Structure 1
Amino acid sequence: MASDEHDERGFFGERPLPTIKRAAAQEKPHYLGHRDRLRERFSATGGEALADYELLELLLFRLIPRSDTKPVAKALLTRFGTLAEVLGAPANLLQEVKGIGPSVALDLKVVAAAAKRLARGEISGREVLSSWNQVLDYCRAAMAFEAREHFRILFLDKKNVLIADEVQQTGTVDHTPVYPREVIKRALELSATALILVHNHPTHPPSITMDHATTY
């Protein structure tokens, strides 16, 4: 009898796991196939063929490797509006979106800094007034989601080409001091013949205001 019990224990101990359990262990997360397909689309057609949320997904693949990033990307765009505004948002506001922690928020700000430099490069050396949409995108990404009002000046030469981009003043949540004497003084120092004056409104939704002025 003891021998039979020993054999029975050995039999059950050596039985393989049920097929259903092995299949479950080998099953891959559903989002992995989606990631591969999205990468293939980007490789074949480039970023212009993808929606904002899809580009944001591609970016989040690296930052959040073990999760479905599609809901996170859509939540970011719902909260902030556009891809440019997502990247322009402060880290503390990014972290208010479910799925975005401190490290992911910091990585997004690194991408934002690179994107801002790229956007500035796209308007540098060109006639700014003929690239108005690019100027709007650049300013929106640079300052739309700042917590305080900023007064920014784009200094242009006689061909309306960008000479310098400077934040002249930083104020409170609803006010920024502007000193015309300082604005003109700086324009003369740079030999600027035209200015684009920009300031943001830290409201909900946030916005920016732009005006064009000519110096003599």
Structure 2
Amino acid sequence: MADEAEDRLGLAEAGPHYHGHRDRLRARFRDAGADAVTDYELLELVLFRALPRRDVKPLAKALIARFGSFAEVIAAPPQRLAEMPGLGDAAITELKIVQAAAQRLARGELRRRTVLSSWSAVLDYCRTAMAFADKEQFRILFLDKRNQLIADEVQQVGTVDHTPVYPREVVKRALELSATAVILVHNHPTTPFRVTLDHAQYR
């Protein structure tokens, strides 16, 4: 009996089985970088803080199965994430923080470049910001005379396959910002990763 009690005590002191998994996963990410972990493992790393007392591997795998990829999970609307059993407000907030951080990084990279000579940066930023939105958005990037980004604004949000555009409002806002050019962007919710860009120059 004493031996059994000691065995149980040893297991209790060792902690839940997933603690060792968390330590190993963190070490692999730290030592080998993001390419060394799969999408669901990266999700696990994000969920660890929000769900410290749960084995989050099954939840991470379920999220990937439901939405398709790490990027699609992060970009999913909060109301759809809330439909997942076991995913509460704290975990959803963690996912949205990661999405916001990715958008800030992409925007910062875009601001450091001459936009019109960096179309790949524009596309990367727009995909990060809106590719997985569940409704069509009409977004405007306002540029100065050096083709640097002045502002990035979502002017309209429509339905899954349509959003209204009001040219007068586009011109009005461009004049307010003293923009000399604009890039007009809209996404395609039915075709993730696809965004459409148009460029207009003011004289």
Same fold (TM over 0.5): yes
Partner of 2:127: 140
Confirm whether residue 170 of structure 1 aligns to residue 157 of structure 2.
Answer: yes
Change (3 A) 1:67 1:131: farther
- Which residue of structure 2 aligns with residue 155 of structure 1? 142
Superposed, 1:173-188 pairs within 5 Å as 173-188=160-175
Structure 2 equivalent of residue 200 of structure 1: 187
Conserved 8 A contact 2:126-2:195: no
The separation in 2 between residues aligned to 1:32 and 1:171, in whole angstroms, is: 45
Give the distance between the partners of 1:87 and 1:130, measured in 2 at CA.
Answer: 29
Indicate if the aligned counterparts of 2:156 and 2:163 stay in contact, CA closer than 8 A.
Answer: yes
* Contact 1:72 1:99 (8 Å CA) reproduced: yes
In structure 1, distance between residues paired with 2:42 and 2:138: 31
Matches within 5 A, 1:8-157: 16=2, 18=4, 22=8, 25-26=11-12, 28-157=15-144
1:211 paired with 2:193, answer: no
SS state of the match for residue 214, structure 1? Answer: strand
1:87 and 1:141 in contact (8 A); partners too: no
Q: Judging changes above 3 Å, is the alpha-carbon distance between structure 1 residues 134 and 65 closer, same or farther for their aligned structure 2 residues?
A: farther
Kindly provide the CA deviation profile for residues 115-164 of structure 1, in whole angstroms up to 9, marking residues without a partner as x.
32232112113123454444334323323343432211112234432221
Would you say the 8 A contact 1:84–1:140 is kept in 2? Answer: no
Structure 2: how far apart are the matches of 1:199 and 1:94? 24
Q: Name the SS for the 1:195 alignment partner.
A: strand
In structure 2, distance between residues paired with 1:134 and 1:84: 17
State the alpha-carbon separation in 1 of the partners of residues 192 and 83 from structure 2: 16
Cα deviations by residue, 1:45-69 (Å, 9 ceiling, x for unpaired)? 3435444333222111111222222
State TM-score, norm by structure 1.
0.75
| 8 Å Cα contact 1:85/1:141 also seen in 2 | no
Gaps of 5+ in 1: 1-14
Counterpart amino acid of residue 75 in structure 2: G
| Aligned length in residues | 201
Bigger drift between 70-79 and 116-125 goes to 70-79
TM-score (norm 2): 0.79
Residue identity (%) = 62
Task: Please give the secondary structure, in 2, of the residue aligned with 1:148.
Answer: coil
Q: CA RMSD in A?
A: 2.9
